[in-house]
Amino acid sequence: MLFANTPTPPYYAVIFTSQRTESDPTGYHTMADLMVELASKQPGFLGVESAREQSGLGITVSYWDSLDSIQQWKENLSHLKAQEKGKRDWYSSYITRICKVERDYTKSN
């Protein structure tokens, strides 16, 4: 199951929509895996979901228990370095949206 196993709302979501450049796919994937691993160890982390088209357009949504947890992760030193590299080399454009999840509903097999 590649869905985040989030609790009953309310909780928070960071929607990161991005367009990858074609540069440095190996470095990018190594860093992306590392950041998921590191995020999952942060206080308040609830899960992450991610999909990317072959065209390079991708959406990653991470889930958190509070705005404070999101802010702490944003300021994590290793994450800051990854964000800088992302801005410079890996993404031609992106938009980050910080959201409060108010309700959810599901179908599971």
Q: CA-to-CA distance for 41 and 36, rounded, in angstroms?
A: 9
Task: Choose between 35 and 91: whose C-beta lies nearer to a copy of itself.
Answer: 91
Judge whether 97 and 59 are in contact, CB under 8 Å.
no
Q: Does 8 bind a copy of itself (CB under 8 A)?
A: no
Judge whether 63 and 3 are in contact, CB under 8 Å.
no
Residues 79 to 98 in contact with a copy of itself, rule: CB under 8 A: 87, 91-98
Contacts of 64 (CB under 8 A, 6+ apart): 11, 12, 13, 14, 44, 45, 46, 70, 73
In the set 33, 53, 68, 84, which binds a copy of itself (CB under 8 A)?
53
Task: Choose between 26 and 54: whose C-beta lies nearer to a copy of itself.
Answer: 54
Judge whether 15 and 97 are in contact, CB under 8 Å.
yes
Q: Does 34 bind a copy of itself (CB under 8 A)?
A: no
Q: Does 15 bind a copy of itself (CB under 8 A)?
A: yes
Residues that bind a copy of itself (CB under 8 A): 1-4, 6, 9, 13, 15, 17, 19, 49-54, 57-59, 61, 67, 87, 91-109
